[in-house]
Chains A and B, each alone.
Chain A
């Protein structure tokens, strides 16, 4: 506030100063500009003028004095002015009238003009003048007709004139300056400031001090934008309704109407003929019933009751109760007795039967309806409760998407693995060859060129985008096998063709690619424009390209292509001495096994902690850049330290010590880590499901060092390893595996070896045309094996049912096997591709809809939706499967035992067999030897013949003859001007003619062959009647002698007539009729018609009960008799 007021004051001051200045200026301009001033100020000014001007004498006006001694006036004509270069307007003017003129020029004019010259009068003075230049000045005087000039003829005069003129010019300039620039003068109050001051607030008290504290320095707190659910918040979005919308208002009218419903009072009387009350509380007939039964019918249940009552009788102390019971019993018993009595009566029985028959159908239909469906059930709550009714109607796999990339052209899918924790993500490695594809190599590419320039694509695809892979993983060598770490979502391991292990850390890589860069329209345009100008620039910052994080140490890696990778359960660790140990609670290992062509299985440890001990490489420090830019340090992987440092911690050699040959591993199976995946949604906006892994605790007993290895030659071995107690001193401790057994059952490369995910002592191997299932409990023999008519390329166990597995074939089929349903053939075969399939992989996450991936020989990877029938999970299956396996095991073991025993008991047969085999072998050997000998002989003969050919001496005579012959032929050809090509050309028409002739002959022959048919056809065309007649062999049913036929028919008729009449007579129709039954029926009908029958009956029965049974009243009988005739009439 105070600041503001002071500022105001300043402003007002400057205003005042301005007005002062303006008054000054008006002083100089002597009031010409007084119109600018306000009338008040003007008045004030005039006063001040009067006050100041009068006392001060006006300054004398300076007039230069040139008329001194030595200065002469001379009038010059225009010609002379030009001659001496003193032209008015060009050389001199009123402001600068002085100029130095050269003495020579003046003298010239005098010499030329003589006495006529204007300078003649001053000739003497000029001649005397010592300097070369003479100062001349123009006298500004418009009143005269001639131009007059001053001329200084002495130095003194010249100096004086110069001084005078300078002074004059200075004066003039000063005056001008004064006119332009105004000097400020002290303030003189004219009274206006009082008015101004009135308007200005003036501080009446000291200003208050105020301290404001602000947090300093301010931290940079960037705000992050978040994805917001617009639907959730109230102002999430604005709905733009249509511009003009008509609403038809419906006015609700309230209609009130009242109506009084008052039932009229009605009185009616009904006589109830209830003998005694019978209901839940009074009817204690239950006991009585028993007694009656005992007495009358002798039922079994009754006896018990009697006993009970008898027991009760003496035990109960309450006499009254018994009495009461007794009385009620009596009444009840009486009624019951009567009822039973009545039941004995046949008429009563008939009645009850009738009742039952009439009611039977109805009641049964109702009961049936109730059993079949609940008519009255409320369907709505049932509909509301979501009961997923799966329809297991199809076993076909439905195609979902197909991944093909240009970079993988002419390559095979070497390996495809689904991500274990992110849904729909699959990593696919492409290579030039596939173990299951037999390729005829026509031209082998230069291996060096291939290694240097060839692409080794490893792509990561998402099921959402089937056109462009999400990531391109770079690799220096072809990657033969890939494997995601099942418990670390970011690690992808690959096995290279040169035996190295390659590791990619995928942290944030996918997110980087999928993050959409939101640019404003302007920036977008700018970027496009910039990119258009920067066509030369190579985009190096492609997010989709991922460089390998680490490669293993080349020296200690495999020596052949890596063929398979399996992860060790994180609960176990293999020590550098080869011992497999169970981890303590917290510690989790990160180890995997890799098998290779070179017959070695290496065990690798990826944990970063113990890397330092290997580290020999010095980190090169760059002096130029002391610190790397932060952009380069983003997303640096923890595993980067392993690069070219990673080496295996243990080595298992698949071979016997001392023998060079080892087993070239193609695939090996081991226990998969047991990991539970939990769905943890992440808000990435990609629709992908994320899972987190939870390592299921295992115990020491789960430690399993059994490995099943399948070789490239179809050999299947089971091995274990033990490890050393000490360090052997090698760089990588190694051990020759303990081969439990070896079995050469497969007839081709064993492409898949996998342990069952549910029952881990069961292993599936697929190789050649054979698939086999092995058990840990049975050695040297498969549990079961099947040979298929075509080659099998891969096999994998289902994740849902322990007995289910899928096998791909070279025919392009996907076979589904279920050991519980059928073990002799697949339960379903579906053709997925026109040519062979090379691999299969399963999406491992527990999703409602799951997919299966199949790679085919064209290098494409196709995803299929699992039919729901293959996704039924039932814990019963495991038990059933185990039972099946135990059964099979028993069969195999008993068979083997029997065979052994039999062989023991009948050694001669074995000998016989051996002998026969030996004979056969010998025969074969013989055959082979003979063949070989023959072959050798043949070859020798051929060689001999050739040698002879070579040896054959061609005499000079013969040679000469040959040469002559050739010469003659050539000369003749030349002479006759015969050209061989020309001849052939000329021969062409002849040849064509020949060909045509041959064709004609062929056709003729064909026609000849068809002779008969042609003949028939022509006949048919020309004489259709003739043919038709032939065909018209209609067999008429009527024979010729119609007369006879008629006769016979007539005879037949008479016979039939007589016989039928006879039968009718013999068996006359007799309607059964009995008066009794008719009467009874009539009575019943009558009763039905009679509404009061009930009452009459009631009375009758009452009378019966009373035992008196008086004779029925006569009028009733009369009535009945009367009724009879009408009933009879009714009947007929």
Chain B
């Protein structure tokens, strides 16, 4: 279908340290993924919950505000989460060189 989406994923994938890209729909179902099924499902399920929570936090504090981006920094990875109304883009990047 969307070659544009695939291209974008490829472009992101080409960067150094990028381990995987997952696009999740609003239900937490992975639509597109460069990872294997199990990991993508794992990530999508957990992160969509986290995102929802984060979104709620932001909105609770100020109803006119909105969550635009979420970065989860860990010792091994950094998970970049770009939430949208419909989708969530997850990029997992290895930062410890």
Q: Which residues of A contact B (CB under 8 A)?
A: 270, 275, 278-280, 283, 285-286, 289-290, 301, 305, 335-336, 339, 342-344, 349, 351-353, 355-360, 362-364, 366-368, 370-371, 374, 376, 1093-1094, 1097-1098
Contact = CB atoms under 8 A, between A and B. Distances in A.
Given A280-B46, A362-B69, A363-B12, A285 B41 contact: yes
Interface string B58-96: 000000000001010100001010101111010101010
A336 B41 CA distance: 12
Interface in B8-26: 8, 11-12, 15-18, 23, 25-26
B43 to A, nearest CB: 10
A278 B5 contact: no
A81 to B, nearest CB: 143
Given A362-B69, A367-B12, A356 B80 contact: no
Given A336-B29, A368-B15, A290 B95 contact: no
Interface of B: 1-2, 4-5, 8, 11-12, 15-18, 23, 25-29, 31, 37-38, 41-42, 45-46, 48-49, 56, 69, 71, 73, 78, 80, 82, 84-87, 89, 91, 93, 95, 97
Nearest to A357: B4
B86 A351 contact: yes
B37 A286 contact: yes
A611 B93 CA distance: 78
A1098 B85 CA distance: 11
A379 to B, nearest CB: 15
5 contacts: A278-B28, A352-B2, A360-B8, A370-B78, A371-B93
A374 B87 CA distance: 27
A283 B23 contact: no
B46 A359 contact: no
A284 to B, nearest CB: 9
A278 B41 CA distance: 10
Contacts of B42: 280
B29 A335 contact: yes
Contacts of B45: 278-280, 283
A290 to B, nearest CB: 7
A978 B84 CA distance: 128
B45 to A, nearest CB: 5
Contacts, number: 106
Contact of B85 (A336, A376, A1094): A1094
A270 B11 CA distance: 39
A337 to B, nearest CB: 10
B86 A367 contact: no
Nearest to A368: B15
A371 B1 contact: no
**Chain A to chain B: the 3 pairs with minimum beta-carbon distance, closest first:** A371-B16, A359-B82, A367-B15
Given A283-B41, A342-B25, A357-B8, 14 more contacts: A270-B56, A280-B42, A280-B46, A290-B37, A352-B86, A356-B4, A359-B89, A360-B8, A370-B78, A370-B93, A371-B16, A374-B95, A376-B95, A1097-B85
Nearest to B93: A370
B85 to A, nearest CB: 6
A937 to B, nearest CB: 90
B37 A339 contact: no
A283 B49 CA distance: 13
A1097 B95 CA distance: 37
Nearest to A285: B41
Contacts of B85: 1093-1094, 1097
A353 B86 contact: no
Contact of B2 (A305, A353, A368): A353
A270 B8 CA distance: 36
Nearest to B21: A363
A1085 to B, nearest CB: 13
A69 B97 CA distance: 155
A364 B12 contact: yes
Most chain B Cβ neighbours within 10 Å, of A335, A343, A367, A1097: A367
B80 A366 contact: yes
Contacts of B49: 278-279
Contacts of A278: 27-28, 45, 48-49
A691 B79 CA distance: 55
Contacts of A270: 56
A376 to B, nearest CB: 6
Nearest to B33: A289
A1097 B87 CA distance: 13
A339 B12 contact: no
Contacts of B2: 349, 352-353, 356
A362 B89 CA distance: 11
Contact of B91 (A283, A367, A1098): A367
Contacts of B84: 355, 358-359
Given A362-B82, A366-B80, A353 B4 contact: yes
Contacts of B69: 362
A352 B12 contact: no
Nearest to A346: B1
B27 A367 contact: no
Nearest to A1091: B63
A286 B38 contact: yes
Contacts of A342: 25
Nearest to B96: A374
A654 to B, nearest CB: 62
A305 B29 CA distance: 19
B95 to A, nearest CB: 6
A289 B37 contact: yes
Contacts of B12: 363-364, 367
Nearest to B49: A279
A290 B15 CA distance: 29
Contacts of B48: 278
Nearest to B97: A374
A618 B38 CA distance: 100
A691 B84 CA distance: 70
A370 B27 contact: no
A1003 to B, nearest CB: 81
Nearest to B68: A362
A275 B71 CA distance: 27
Contact of B17 (A339, A370, A1094): A370
A352 B5 contact: yes
Contacts of A279: 45-46, 49
Contacts of A370: 15, 17, 78, 80, 93, 95
Contacts of A364: 11-12, 15
B95 A356 contact: no
Contacts of B28: 278
Given A301-B37, A367-B18, A367-B93, A339 B27 contact: yes
Contacts of A368: 15
Contact of B41 (A275, A286, A352, A1094): A286
A363 B91 contact: yes
B31 to A, nearest CB: 6
A367 B80 contact: yes
A364 B29 CA distance: 23
B80 A363 contact: yes
A352 B17 contact: no
B96 to A, nearest CB: 8
A365 to B, nearest CB: 11
A1067 B2 CA distance: 36
Contacts of B86: 351-352, 355
Contact of A371 (B15, B27, B38, B82): B15
Contact of A363 (B26, B46, B82, B97): B82
B82 A343 contact: no
Nearest to B48: A278
Most chain B Cβ neighbours within 10 Å, of A275, A335, A351, A363: A363
A286 B33 CA distance: 13
Contact of B31 (A280, A286, A352, A366): A352
A977 to B, nearest CB: 111
Nearest to A302: B37
A520 B17 CA distance: 74
B16 to A, nearest CB: 4
A342 B29 CA distance: 12
